[in-house]
Structure 1
């Protein structure tokens, strides 16, 4: 694109690996990127970071101090365009409050699916809806989220589907990969099922254990590996107790928090990936797994069907142990079907969910909004 580089202000949590990737890609496009975040975290080289963290945000005084820091941080940045990478986030709300323009918000799932995921109280919901209605442009990762945003009073003409997707420079199939299995203490001939979502009750890992008990009866070398990123400590104890109760200690592993490269190795080290959240946008972890050539068993959510096809690019299952058992065993024992999911899943993600090409959509929208905003001045 033969246009001048932009000064882009990204409003997002620096602790998120997706924020890190997005800022790096916009920088690589030649833009001058500033990240304003409510927390500390890593920031790519060449990206200016304005962290708005405080020592403590407990109590009224702590929260007010944090809000003042965020206010100062957001207010201080002068940019050509402001992009918030999550609707229900403090820097997003503050950008709306101080009137930053042109202002774009990307909705990813739980930030707007309030009732499904139980997110936010009434004040947070009101502010999020207000920010979405008043911003200049909204991107959504699925048509389902687009409809949710429309119900808030956001005009359809302001909504654009941007899947975001996968960085294929990182997430790719490997011809041989023993690294993850070695770290997990899993043999080469084991059948590994990997759960990459956060270790929280919402993602139904206890149900996965119940299903594993039945799977092991027919596939004795099966191993279930849980990612532990942002884990709920109490839930982890419940899982460990349930594992012991089911006598599955030899069949369960807990992987430590991983960076993007380590996640790629984990996907390649698994035979199957499983995701059973009852509510979702378009999950990046599912797409990352497919990009690595690992078939995915996922909850049978209608919104997934605008992107994935059952038994072709993904495998849908009801969120019930018996159905999960059937899905796992059928895929593990049906090699032709397994290969179909592997090849077609990789092809789909490569063609439809490439992070770089999807980020170009954001860039194009940014130039358009700047032109519109200039005409109004």
Structure 2
């Protein structure tokens, strides 16, 4: 018997492309979706948007006005189920404070890896833990995050692994890359290394530059392209200064912020994607690259190994310049391993991290919670 459509309230940042995709897919399933966000941003057509941004949140009065807007926004929505797509976020906290039920919180990484990523102060950590303990269900993108949340006092019985993966209708192998390479000012025979993570010190782009200096001595046509979404302006200036110091101006590019379609083309245009985050959940950008058939060089984090396999679906490296250099050169030299990463990476993401099938898990959980509330 077909279940009736639900009224789903999504609590998440509208500026995130992942929020846009999730809302669109839930709507495609036939549900009535409302997005309550602490910021401005785009919504898919047909999704009701309740933005809580104000003209200025500076100072104590500005912060209070913003909190009041978030309070009003979350309170105004009556739904069958509430889903917060990030634990450490103001609309998530407000939904808990207002007693919205049934309430599902999805943990993605930095929202609960407080000590690793230096996120939140004591009050923010306490509120996040409290919301997780009091909500009805928690989803996590990795078993490591599940254990982290369990240590907060969340019962194992209400923790579920849901990998917010890849929309294969957007991210897939694409043969035409000339336009993107032209936009970046890169020749067709260049070896492009693409860094898709946010341009911030946490993601170790400075180390990538130091590694590039050695890589170009062996592969003179190597080019490193940095994504600039949500960039730290001061950090970019430091990167540009270091690029000049290393005489790498001809080998470094900064790609402007891109939409989903442009990111798909960027992944396909790259010969290698690099991610050196010292702490992570299961990064969507890495999975998107694999879905496009682009091998990924990633930090050797133990938690990755529950999903990715070294030299089969991903290539692990220590976060040290010499190890990064060695890995890049080996990958570009070993065509057999390179092709293995391409084919097995695509297969893994299709099987384990399809956004539509993973969203169905959230849908099933929502129906279950509603039936038993």
Sort the TM-score into its range (normalised by shorter chain): over 0.9
Q: Give the distance between the partners of 1:230 and 1:30, measured in 2 at CA.
A: 32
| Counterpart for residue 329 of structure 1 | 329
* Counterpart secondary structure, 2:146: helix
* Counterpart secondary structure, 1:197: coil
Deviation at 1:174, TM superposition (A): 1.1
Query: Unaligned 5+ residue runs, structure 2?
Result: none
Q: Give the distance between the partners of 1:208 and 1:49, measured in 2 at CA.
A: 39
* Counterpart secondary structure, 2:286: helix
* Counterpart secondary structure, 1:82: strand
Q: Give the distance between the partners of 2:38 and 2:246, measured in 1 at CA.
A: 42
Contact 1:142 1:282 (8 Å CA) reproduced: yes
Q: Give the distance between the partners of 2:111 and 2:309, measured in 1 at CA.
A: 26
| Counterpart for residue 115 of structure 2 | 115
* Counterpart secondary structure, 2:273: strand
Runs of 4+ off more than 4 Å: none
Q: Give the distance between the partners of 1:345 and 1:72, measured in 2 at CA.
A: 44
Deviation at 1:175, TM superposition (A): 2.4
Q: Give the distance between the partners of 1:99 and 1:141, measured in 2 at CA.
A: 25
| Counterpart for residue 173 of structure 2 | 173
| Counterpart for residue 356 of structure 2 | 356
Query: Unaligned 5+ residue runs, structure 1?
Result: none
* Counterpart secondary structure, 1:277: coil
* Counterpart secondary structure, 1:174: coil
| Counterpart for residue 299 of structure 2 | 299
Deviation at 1:177, TM superposition (A): 1.8
TM-score in terms of structure 1 length: 0.98
| Counterpart for residue 207 of structure 2 | 207
Q: Give the distance between the partners of 1:276 and 1:100, measured in 2 at CA.
A: 38
| Counterpart for residue 319 of structure 1 | 319
* Counterpart secondary structure, 1:8: strand
Residues paired across the two proteins, number: 373
Contact 1:295 1:345 (8 Å CA) reproduced: yes
Contact 1:179 1:269 (8 Å CA) reproduced: no
Q: Give the distance between the partners of 2:261 and 2:355, measured in 1 at CA.
A: 16
Q: Is it true that 1:77 corresponds to 2:77 in the alignment?
A: yes
Deviation at 1:326, TM superposition (A): 0.6
| Counterpart for residue 274 of structure 2 | 274
Contact 1:312 1:345 (8 Å CA) reproduced: yes
| Counterpart for residue 9 of structure 2 | 9
* Counterpart secondary structure, 2:79: coil
Deviation at 1:244, TM superposition (A): 0.5
